[in-house]
Structure 1
Amino acid sequence: MGLRRSTLRASAVGAVSAALLAGTLTGLAPAAEAATPSVRFVDIAGDGGTVLKANVVAPADGPGPYPLVVFPTSWGFPQAEYLVQARRLAEAGYVVLTYNVRGFWQSGGEVEVAGPADVADASKVIDWALAHTPADPDRIGFGGVSYGAGISLLAAAHDRRIRAVASLSGWGDLIGSLYSGRTEHVQATAVLDGAARLTGRESAETRQVFKDFYAADPANEDRLTAWGWKRSPAACLDRLNANRPAVLLTGAWGETVFSPNQYADFYEKLTVPKRLEMRPGDHATAEITGLFGLPNDVWTDTVRWFDHYLRGVDNGIDREPPVELKSRSGGGYEGYPDWKSVTAARQRIPLAGTTTVHAGVDSGADGGIVFLSGALDQLTRVPPLAWLPLLPRRWAAVWQSEPYATARHLRGTALVHTTLTPSAERGTLVAYLYDVGPLGVGRLVTHAPFSWRGREPGRPFGVDLELYSTAYDVPTGHRLALVVDTIDPLYLEHNPSGARLTFSSPADDPSYVSVPLREQ
């Protein structure tokens, strides 16, 4: 193995967008003074004639043709988002076109959430670039952060001209991201909704989708699932594999928008030249410093990816381990041949006995705050904390391992298996895995929600829950603890007033948490 809580206000998103715009323009100023690449702002007719605001950054000399890289903007961000990286690519011999996706800022149309019109826009942008810039039709790349990442993957599945993709903090399965465990990720969704209202114009369909999501009515589930699946690259995986673009996927362990699990699953099903990179951080926090021109591993590898697959540069990225992970606990990158090799062994921690918890009160164990908690963990290695001796056992079930005599290197996806007897036909639980030190302070390793409907009250059923994938090192002398409660501000909960959840471990089907371990 080689080494290398409350919903945020929409105004905060706007402030971030404004700061990013100011930062990118500041970062671009020295390049403009140096008169290297040329920059021009243009209007492009997208699908149905919708005007898309764009900019073109091109090499200052030579007739071309040059490889083309297209960057659709992130959700709620202005078209200046990628100007610093666009300049750097242009200096290396690329034509770079960045455009504001439909419905946001000055671009026309309405926010369709990576719908068919957004995919058609991507092809129209390529058509325009080939007609109005010295771009090479045989060397076209697409990339972007977050929203731009998802659109890039969808575009590559529908347009064979795209030969390389850099999907940074994107998604493979939109419903698997915002509705995992059949539980609405309300905090993340509310931030996206707020940003769209602040910086864009939601379509009637998009507005209704948000309303239905918040309502959490089971009658809407099938329709919401179909809407999200149509916007998921995993739904067009066969087309993507048939077109065979080279695909780079990057994500963060603390993602509160697009979980690492769905990304890794999507990666495994790709049969194209591919690479998966996972790092500490939250949604898009690993990439953001690169947008300001600061040294950044994600953008370094993005350029290397385009250099190899669009310019033919023999930089070795195709010979490196295709799965590169960085532990949240520090250290260098670890290389693996594929995702399944990340987990070399498993250890089971028994969830013994019978425990009943009451719903309706937050025990104090929580997954954090969207965008912020993962970023804090990335910068300071301080994840969400909980003092386990003080967790009220009426509201939280707690199981702990013995202290470990040696360090444990968790890599991959922890699995929870238990038998649940609910007092109501519907409900929600959230499971948390903590690294617990000698004083009982728990550092959140990973967690995940799970909701059910239509169950017979008083009748037990089995629960199998994948916690969010992670890379985390448990120090010697520490122990692992599984905590289960019923409320987390990140998610909508479906427990009726007075509901109780009883967890048991039958002799013929014992309950446990299976911890994924790396080779020592």
Structure 2
Amino acid sequence: MGHHRRALRTTAVGAVSAALIAGGVLGLAPAAQATNAVRFVDITGDGGVVLKANVTMPAGAADGARRYPLIVLPTSWGFPQVEYLAQAQKLADSGYIVVGYNVRGFWQSGGRIEVAGPQDTADASKVIDWALANTPADAAHIGMGGVSYGAGISLLAAAHDKRIKAVASLSGWADLIGSIYSGRTQHVQAAALLDGVSVVTGRQDPEVRQVFDDFYASNLAKEQDLIDWGKKRSAATYVDQLNKNGAAVLMANAWGDTVFPVNQYADFYEKLTVPKRMELRPGDHATAELTGLFGLPNDVWTDTERWFDHYLKGTDNGIDREQPVQLKPRSTGGYEGYPDWKSVGEARGRIALDGTTTIHTNVDSGADGGIVFLSSILDQVAQVPPIAAIPLLPRRWAAVWQSEKYATARRVRGTAKLHTTLTPTKESGTLVAYLYDVGPLGLGKLVSNAPYTFHDRTPGEPFGVDLELFSTAYDVPAGHRLALVVDTVDPLYIEHNPSGAQLTFSSPANDPSYVSIPLREQ
């Protein structure tokens, strides 16, 4: 396991180092074309830590003759302080004062990485304090936003600082444990990616280092500590405070986000009672926003500016009258609007998981969720998700159930849900469920997947399993069918199957097994 973790971390560091270099370039390139004054400043954060920051102001703002709305942008995980300069220029052109800052522990900012803990939240308020004291920013019109780490910190800050009136949370999280430990299963590639980046670009707090080590080691004695640690760093924990404070919240994410899956975002969105909007698009973690960081046209950033314009400036641009849930399916080009998330998956179809099926563990059947970042990016740019030859999957290691062929095209929108009865031969185990779109030749394109882990079960005693697959929006062509595949090994996750274990799936008459799919005709 140690060698496996080191290999993952090395791969993650190599891959992301290239991305960070690109990030630095894309952040620096627009600066040469700056039309507004940009100042690089030091801001004193919580506990005296120095935060490296940059301030972009509209032309003529330095004379202090009037006040301007303020937008604060904390950087993404591992990115330098110049990350948002292209967008800062655009926002300043529109009449905003923009302060971007490097979060503590990364690059030249002081302190240590504590993963959106209390000090990170306090830092955000300190940056607002500094901007109000040192720029002609308007204290009554403050917004906050960012990508990934900056998105999570922005949501947390809005729950703790009443001055924040609007938030743009792009590719962020609302439930940290629900993101990297969903189904009680470690999302090891995602964790190794975050760990590797922070080792290269920052300085981890000892508590964070211990959390990563316990996570990799599957230390069940520390499981509750991990959950408690994650709750402190999750906006879902503070949703009542966020609703009370009233900040308008824009959330955007990608269907294939392998770091912060859509489900946890959508669950949080439904609990918000403030003005809100959720946009979901093809791609992986933060890939939908990437071109906007170059200053290129980008839907996410366009709507972010519209959101701020309406809720900070009072501009009547119609964004508040549009359907608040906007989906761009993986296989079509247009957007679909819905009144809420519940409406997305109202129509349901089922595949019955009849009979009794036993599979052996410890071997990858060939069905898997792909590779962190790479697979979902291929799906985003070329509509090529992970593929498996369904008829060739070895039934010793994979359970397979299929629907009938659909005479007309079908739309999958929302969250598929698996319900089954499982009988293990060991007290612990892991299964991974996959939903495939299967063509006439038996090739299956991955629609969704999710892992599930159990511990402390009595061998030979059946129990019920309910598992939500990761939410998606996918079009199934006419003449195709859907297939549910279950196996026990996937490179994306740490599996907990003892050697020689077997899993038996059954469908009792009084509790039939099925997968419920948010399915409707096109």
TM-score, normalised to structure 2, is: 0.97
Q: What is the Cα deviation at residue 315 of structure 1?
A: 0.4
**How does 1:116-127 map onto structure 2 within 5 Å?**
116-127=118-129
Q: What is the Cα deviation at residue 206 of structure 1?
A: 0.5
Q: Deviations over 1:389-446 (max 9, x none)?
A: 1111111011111110011101110011111100000000000000000011000000
- CA distance in structure 1 between the aligned counterparts of 2:139 and 2:349, rounded to whole angstroms: 51
**Aligned: 1:27 with 2:12:** no
- CA distance in structure 2 between the aligned counterparts of 1:144 and 1:451, rounded to whole angstroms: 33
- In structure 2, the residue matched to 1:105 is 107
- In structure 2, the residue matched to 1:173 is 175
Contact 2:409–2:521 under 8 Å retained in 1: no
**Aligned: 1:427 with 2:426:** no
**Aligned: 1:55 with 2:48:** no
- In structure 2, the residue matched to 1:206 is 208
Q: What is the Cα deviation at residue 373 of structure 1?
A: 1.2
Consecutive aligned runs of 4 or more in structure 1 exceeding 4 Å deviation: none
- In structure 1, the residue matched to 2:499 is 497
1:481 pairs, out of 470, 483, 494, with: 483
1:15 pairs, out of 18, 41, 44, with: 18
Q: What is the Cα deviation at residue 519 of structure 1?
A: 6.5
**How does 1:55-204 map onto structure 2 within 5 Å?**
55-62=54-61, 63-204=65-206
Q: What is the Cα deviation at residue 61 of structure 1?
A: 1.4
Corresponding pairs, count: 512
Contact 2:151–2:170 under 8 Å retained in 1: yes
DSSP 3-state at the match of 1:9: helix
- CA distance in structure 2 between the aligned counterparts of 1:64 and 1:457, rounded to whole angstroms: 72
Which amino acid in the other structure matches residue 22 of structure 1?
Answer: V
- CA distance in structure 2 between the aligned counterparts of 1:91 and 1:327, rounded to whole angstroms: 32
DSSP 3-state at the match of 2:348: strand
Contact 1:342–1:518 under 8 Å retained in 2: no
- In structure 2, the residue matched to 1:472 is 474
**How does 1:32-431 map onto structure 2 within 5 Å?**
36-62=35-61, 63-431=65-433
Contact 2:410–2:521 under 8 Å retained in 1: no
- CA distance in structure 2 between the aligned counterparts of 1:23 and 1:232, rounded to whole angstroms: 29
1:427–1:180 CA distance, 2 compared to 1 (3 A): same
Contact 1:345–1:516 under 8 Å retained in 2: yes
Q: Deviations over 1:78-105 (max 9, x none)?
A: 0000000000000110000000000000
Q: What is the Cα deviation at residue 28 of structure 1?
A: 2.6
Q: What is the Cα deviation at residue 217 of structure 1?
A: 1.6
**Identity fraction in percent:** 72
Contact 1:53–1:79 under 8 Å retained in 2: yes
**Aligned: 1:517 with 2:508:** no
- CA distance in structure 2 between the aligned counterparts of 1:359 and 1:340, rounded to whole angstroms: 36
Which amino acid in the other structure matches residue 199 of structure 1?
Answer: T
Q: Deviations over 1:163-221 (max 9, x none)?
A: 00000001110000010000011110001000000000000100000011011121111
Which amino acid in the other structure matches residue 304 of structure 2?
Answer: T
DSSP 3-state at the match of 2:83: helix
DSSP 3-state at the match of 1:209: helix
DSSP 3-state at the match of 1:263: helix
Contact 2:425–2:503 under 8 Å retained in 1: yes
Contact 1:280–1:326 under 8 Å retained in 2: yes
- CA distance in structure 1 between the aligned counterparts of 2:520 and 2:80, rounded to whole angstroms: 41
DSSP 3-state at the match of 1:247: strand
- CA distance in structure 2 between the aligned counterparts of 1:9 and 1:61, rounded to whole angstroms: 44
Q: What is the Cα deviation at residue 160 of structure 1?
A: 0.3
**Aligned-residue CA RMSD (Å):** 1.1
Q: What is the Cα deviation at residue 518 of structure 1?
A: 4.4
Q: What is the Cα deviation at residue 506 of structure 1?
A: 1.2
DSSP 3-state at the match of 1:513: strand
Structure 1 gap ranges (5+):
none
